[in-house]
Structure 1
Amino acid sequence: MGLYSVLLNVTHKWLIMVINRKMASVEGVTIRFAEYEDEENILKIKVHDDDMKNKEFDDLEDALDDAFEEQEELEEEEEEEEGKGGEDDESTFMFVAEIESELIGFAMLSLADEDGEVGLISDIRVAETWRDKNVYQMMYQHIIDFAKRELEIKHIRTTVHKYPDETITEEICKTVYVAFDGNAKTLRDTLLSVPGIDDLPLSTVVPYQQRHMRQLLHSHAAVGQNILTNGVFFADMESYSLCKENLADLAEEELCMFVDKNKPIKSISFGHDFDSDRAAVCTIDINCKDAELIKCHIIKHMQRACKEVDGQIVFLILVTDHDFEDKIKAFCNGIEGLKEEEKYRESYTLSKILLKSDDE
């Protein structure tokens, strides 16, 4: 290749890089780390309706309080230990976009595993008047650059696909929450006589206990094949890496957790209850590739939830393997007093932004 061709090739690559950078920037907008004083203005930024599928966005105030508290503790440790170990222990990074001192965007990047190799966009929001002006893309580019420069992250999980066009991404999975509605009092009785219940291995599904963590982690490879979906599991409508820290954190939350007694464990599920204006809601995240065990987890969670509430209750049941969707629907529609509600159905695509190869 001649010198002219080499120069032309280099110039071409440089121009592409410059164009891409411009596409991911907005004139007058700057991005910096969020500070405690920003919290009130951050909370004023509403989430786009399309982005509400990430449930973490509902709990931003608590998430901010936790993140700022973590920052304060790390700063105190850094002062006490003269800078040793402070920044390396940080697990949440918050950024704000602003123009002329007006906050117009916020993003939160969290480390999602113990090794710090997986990141999670646990919140990203842009003020309504700035949503179609590349601010999302600018914030994503800033996060990607920060993760490459300062962290050991290999990829970042996200459900909000508003990153720059040239971003290298890979789909993890498409998830669906199918919804069913019924009266809790009626279901308390009908859930005892579900068609085919005597043929299900109900006794093998038991409440999660501390010892199950050791079993899950000890047989990580086999368990991964049984319960993980492309390397992640789901709880409370969010995605997680399988590690001690995540299991411990989930066990401390007000979640109902079930596993099976097989060795290695073939399933783990999480139930979470909350109230809406119309009815009580129970989310059921089942991580399993066995249809019969999935049915057992559904019954266990429904029976438990119906004992704790009166009146109408809506169940949102996770489907990650779409081969099971029709089976789950047929099973639940066969329960007397339970009706499928298409209007409550939720779906989203979980993707990962690739920063490094597994070999790096």
Structure 2
Amino acid sequence: MDDTKLPTLTEAKHSDYDAVMEIALTNTFRDGFDYLPARFHQYVDDPDVFMVLVERGGILEGINVYMFNDDGEALLLKTGRQNPRFRGKETSRRGRQSLPMIFKEFLLPRCKPTTLLQGVVEGHRMELRKLILEYMGFWGNEKCNLDVMYFQSEVSAINGSLASYNTTPLPPLTPYQPPDLQRLLPPAFSAAVLPEGRVLVDWDPYKLSESNMKKFVQAGLYILVDSTEPAAKSLSFGGSYMTPRGRLYHIDVHCKDEGLCKAHILNHVKKACSQYTGMITFCVMVIDQGLKETVMKCCVENLTLSHLPHDHTFTLYETDLTVMAKAAAKVKAKY
């Protein structure tokens, strides 16, 4: 393979699924709880998602996934997969070639002058931080941290734990309805609970807005809010997909109150057990690090779920497009 040639870039098609899965290492990414197999075809059909294949000499080097959110005001570096034969130093060198080309050909033409560049990255993956964050100007633009914890059990066992669950009465929650947005938008909730007015849904950042909430409802997410007036104190999102390690149900909790946090977890677990059978892995996300112990106690002690050794802390980064726009302007397309 001639490494002196610039790579060939194409948008992924449905027919590319098998080729991508061959290099994706889905059994190890996210500790085997990879969402890409379940969402690949959805991403192909979504006009706001760009899955760009990077090939050279007829060999697939990798795939990069980008997502426009907030009506084009945000561009999320969603994920990527690298062919295992090009690991280590090869990843950095090839990435420095392909990234500016991807931005020039696919992304910058869609961006607004106000579009923000976002990424959610594991803190311990230093090689990725160096390649993506330092190169793309993310250093110094940390917005928030989010903690993700994994718990697992059979539905039959969970139902038994729910039946014997004894606790003081928890705050009532109700499924989200459009009028609830008026209690979520005021600073009494959004500024106090959310990082800069953003919700994180399955780890992806979005502005708390009417259009986004409508999109979440249409996507079939289970959304819960407390009944506090005049401003709510909590909000959560739940949804499920299949992974190489079985069914995963994500629970994204936005609050600062221990009782509300427990109530959200319990309601989502009940919802999941009413919909599915067999083994379920719950991926619980909280932004307030003070709630980690609450999550652990609720899931392990109260619900008797098994705690899996896959907890991670992620950081949301944000910057403008200046760095990538300058880099992309220097690239001469040769394909």
Alpha-carbon distance, 1:345 to partner? 3.0
Give me the whole-angstrom Cα distance separating, in 2, the residues matched to 1:63 and 1:328. 31
Alpha-carbon distance, 1:310 to partner? 4.1
Deviations 1:322-342 (A, max 9, x none): 22111221233331x514423
> Greater relative contact order: 1 or 2 (C-alpha under 8 angstroms, separation 6 or more)?
2
Instruction: Determine if contact 1:45/1:105 at 8 Å carries over to the other structure.
Output: no
One-letter identity of the residue aligned with 1:250:
F
One-letter identity of the residue aligned with 1:151:
C
Give me the whole-angstrom Cα distance separating, in 2, the residues matched to 1:104 and 1:111. 24
**Within 5 Å, which residues of 2 pair with 1:81-92?**
91-92=48-49
Query: Is residue 209 from structure 1 mapped to residue 144 from structure 2 by the alignment?
Result: no
Alpha-carbon distance, 1:300 to partner? 1.0
The match for 1:272 is: 239
Instruction: Determine if contact 2:17/2:40 at 8 Å carries over to the other structure.
Output: no
Unaligned runs of 5+ in 1: 1-25, 71-90
Instruction: Determine if contact 1:206/1:258 at 8 Å carries over to the other structure.
Output: yes
One-letter identity of the residue aligned with 1:185:
S
Query: 2:36 aligns to what SS in structure 1?
Result: helix
The match for 1:225 is: 191
Instruction: Determine if contact 1:188/1:306 at 8 Å carries over to the other structure.
Output: yes
Change (3 A) 1:56 1:182: closer
Deviations 1:136-186 (A, max 9, x none): 333333345565676222323243533274431122333322233344334
The match for 2:96 is: 137
Please tell me whether Structure 1 or Structure 2 has the larger radius of gyration of its CA atoms: 1
Deviations 1:235-285 (A, max 9, x none): 234332323332222111232211111232222112223456776543211
The match for 2:36 is: 57
Change (3 A) 1:95 1:346: same
Give me the whole-angstrom Cα distance separating, in 2, the residues matched to 1:172 and 1:140. 23
Moved more, 100-109 or 273-282: 273-282
- Count matched residues: 303
Instruction: Determine if contact 2:52/2:64 at 8 Å carries over to the other structure.
Output: yes
Root-mean-square deviation (Å): 3.4
Query: 1:338 aligns to what SS in structure 2?
Result: coil
Moved more, 40-49 or 149-158: 40-49
Change (3 A) 1:277 1:51: closer
Instruction: Determine if contact 2:118/2:316 at 8 Å carries over to the other structure.
Output: no
Instruction: Determine if contact 1:104/1:127 at 8 Å carries over to the other structure.
Output: yes
Instruction: Determine if contact 1:137/1:163 at 8 Å carries over to the other structure.
Output: no
Instruction: Determine if contact 1:282/1:305 at 8 Å carries over to the other structure.
Output: yes
The match for 1:349 is: 315
Query: Is residue 240 from structure 1 mapped to residue 203 from structure 2 by the alignment?
Result: no
The match for 2:7 is: 30
Give me the whole-angstrom Cα distance separating, in 2, the residues matched to 1:316 and 1:339. 12
The match for 2:159 is: 188
The match for 2:330 is: none
Instruction: Determine if contact 1:92/1:111 at 8 Å carries over to the other structure.
Output: yes
Change (3 A) 1:122 1:166: closer
Change (3 A) 1:222 1:144: farther
- Give the structure-2-normalised TM-score: 0.75
Give me the whole-angstrom Cα distance separating, in 1, the residues matched to 2:314 and 2:75. 18
The equivalent position to 1:261 in structure 2, one of 227, 232, 236, is 227
Give me the whole-angstrom Cα distance separating, in 2, the residues matched to 1:280 and 1:108. 23
- Percent identity reads 20
The match for 1:151 is: 111
The match for 1:122 is: 78
One-letter identity of the residue aligned with 2:321:
L
Instruction: Determine if contact 1:111/1:118 at 8 Å carries over to the other structure.
Output: yes
Query: Is residue 294 from structure 1 mapped to residue 261 from structure 2 by the alignment?
Result: yes
Change (3 A) 1:138 1:175: farther
Query: 2:309 aligns to what SS in structure 1?
Result: helix
Query: 1:305 aligns to what SS in structure 2?
Result: helix
Query: 2:23 aligns to what SS in structure 1?
Result: coil
Query: Is residue 111 from structure 1 mapped to residue 85 from structure 2 by the alignment?
Result: no
Instruction: Determine if contact 1:108/1:124 at 8 Å carries over to the other structure.
Output: yes
One-letter identity of the residue aligned with 1:350:
L
Instruction: Determine if contact 2:120/2:204 at 8 Å carries over to the other structure.
Output: no
Change (3 A) 1:40 1:274: closer
Change (3 A) 1:63 1:140: farther
Alpha-carbon distance, 1:33 to partner? 4.6
